[in-house]
């Protein structure tokens, strides 16, 4: 497996709820890519700057991170 390198330390997140919380709180990913594991299961991987995401991660771990204001509302 080949890992792309970045100019800063990063975290790779697979948890879609965690990604939604990060995005809704204004954190933008450095990268997004598709990956698969040894069981041929495909996942979307979101790459975030580790330092920029640390406060959100701490709140997420304490179950204190709520949906933020950066939400797009789409009318059907």
6-38 pLDDT per residue, tens: 999 999 999 999 999 999 999 999 999 999 988
Q: What are phi and psi of 2, to 5 degrees?
A: -110, 130
Return the DSSP state at 7: S
| Angle in degrees, 0-180, between the axes of helices 50-61 and 16-24, rounded to the nearest 10 | 110
How far, in Å, CA of 66 to CA of 46, rounded? Answer: 19
Other Cβ atoms within 10 Å of 24 Cβ, number: 16
pLDDT of residue 13: 97
With respect to residue 32, please indicate whether it lies within any of the assigned structural domains.
yes
Q: Does the pLDDT of residue 1 top 70, yes or no? A: no
Residue recorded with tokens 């809704």? 24
Tens of pLDDT, residue by residue over 29-74, are 999 999 998 899 999 999 999 999 999 999 999 999 999 999 888 8
Instruction: Extract the tokens encoding 63.
Output: 């179950």
Domain count, the chain: 1
| Domain around 59 | 1-44+54-67
- Please give the pLDDT value at position 42: 95
């Amino acid at each position: 497996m080949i890992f792309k390198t970045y100019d800063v330390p990063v975290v790779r997140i697979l948890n879609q709820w965690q990604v939604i919380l990060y995005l809704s709180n204004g954190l933008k990913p450095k990268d997004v890519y598709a990956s698969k594991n040894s069981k041929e299961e495909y996942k979307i991987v979101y790459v975030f700057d580790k330092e920029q995401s640390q406060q959100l991660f701490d709140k997420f771990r304490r179950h204190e991170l709520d949906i933020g204001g950066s939400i797009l509302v789409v009318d059907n």
